[in-house]
Amino acid sequence: MTPAATVTADRARDARLARRLLFPALAAITVIVGVPLAWMLWESLHLHDLRMPWLGRPFIGLENYREAIHDPRFVVAVMHTLFFVAVSVTLELAGGLALALTMHRVPYVVSGFSRTLLRVLILLPWAIPTAASALIWRFLFDGQAGVVNEILVGLHVIAGPRVWLVDPTLAWIPIIAADVWKTTPFVALLLLAGLQSIDQSLYDAARIDGAGPWREFTEITLPLLTPAIVVTLAFRALDAFRVFDLIYVLTGGGPGTATESVSLYTFSALLQKLRFGYASALSMIVFAGTLGLGVIYIRLSNRHLLTRG
């Protein structure tokens, strides 16, 4: 057998081994994810309304999807969700980058506090369950006994107490603040991993050439941190697009539907209106949206790798 044939045979054997090793994981994913997804798709094609059980479960095709597209409440919920994703992820990326640079560059912030302790303290908000952190922020922004009102009135920022959670515009402030406070440490953790992969000798060479901190950041840190930033944006955008528990605990989607997200509207259609078919169609639309964001992330990642290569 020639050397080329030997290499080809080895590659074929490795490919077969890889397929065998991947099969259990793929089978588990098919059962855990594929079966419920297929059932939800099947439900979305039927009229299944527990308020009218005498109708049965007739097949109606894409009628639930047509209703969702022309549903003003659903369209507004989508706009609310996109607004939440854009604002919260942007703030989390900026704050996470600042925290990551702090954890990476500063060995001691206060005498006696090591870098490890600093990282633990920064990551504490991320360890708190979302429902618990939402309750904390709901108390902070309470219209009568809230700490935020006391501070802002004391600093003469506002003339009197505000009823934050019942104002259609102001209600977004505690929602976004709570999400940024909780999730920024997670963003910082991902970006810190990217910072630690950058060769320190690049900074040493830049300092020898007379580069200042800003030039080091723009010409070394930021370009080499781009893959980590793309991954972070993808993770946070996918997660923020499905926001439910934070808004549910803080405002319940109110006042009215002023802060209602897509997931919250789906919850309302499923468990409050008992429209299983329509709620399944809404869930499939949310799934398609997150899948689209994932495909965009993969394309951006591949394009970046090809550019670097």
Question: What is the CATH T-level fold of the domain 64-308, as seen in this structure?
Answer: MetI-like fold (1.10.3720)
Q: Which residue has the tokens 């870098």?
A: 115
Q: pLDDT truncated to tens, each residue of the chain (309 aa)?
A: 566 566 577 677 877 888 888 888 888 888 888 888 889 999 999 988 888 888 888 889 899 999 999 999 999 999 999 999 999 999 999 999 998 888 877 654 444 456 677 777 778 888 888 888 999 999 999 877 788 888 888 888 888 888 888 888 889 999 999 999 999 998 998 898 888 888 888 877 878 877 777 888 888 888 888 888 888 888 888 888 888 989 999 998 888 889 999 999 999 988 888 889 999 999 998 888 888 877 877 777 666 555 555
What whole-number distance in Å separates Cα of residue 116 and Cα of residue 106?
Answer: 11
According to DSSP, the residues that pair with 275 across neighbouring strands are: 49
Kindly list the domain boundaries of the chain, sorted by start residue: 64-308
CA 135 to chain centre: 20
Query: What dihedral do alpha carbons 189, 195, 196, 202 form, nearest 10°?
Result: -170
What whole-number distance in Å separates Cα of residue 257 and Cα of residue 269?
Answer: 13
Tens digit of each residue's pLDDT (9 = 90 or more) over 14-35 = 778 888 888 888 888 888 888 8
pTM score, whole prediction: 0.84
Alpha-helical (H) ranges within the chain are: 3-29, 35-44, 63-69, 72-105, 115-127, 130-140, 147-154, 172-196, 200-208, 213-216, 222-224, 226-241, 245-250, 262-267, 276-308
pLDDT for 113 equals 54
pLDDT for 15 equals 78
Tens digit of each residue's pLDDT (9 = 90 or more) over 97-143 = 998 888 877 654 444 456 677 777 778 888 888 888 999 999 999 87
pLDDT for 90 equals 93
Q: What are phi and psi of 99, to 5 degrees?
A: -65, -40
Percentage of the chain lying above the pLDDT 70 cut: 91
pLDDT for 303 equals 66
User: Burial level of 72, CB count in 10 A (0-12/13-18/19+)?
Assistant: exposed
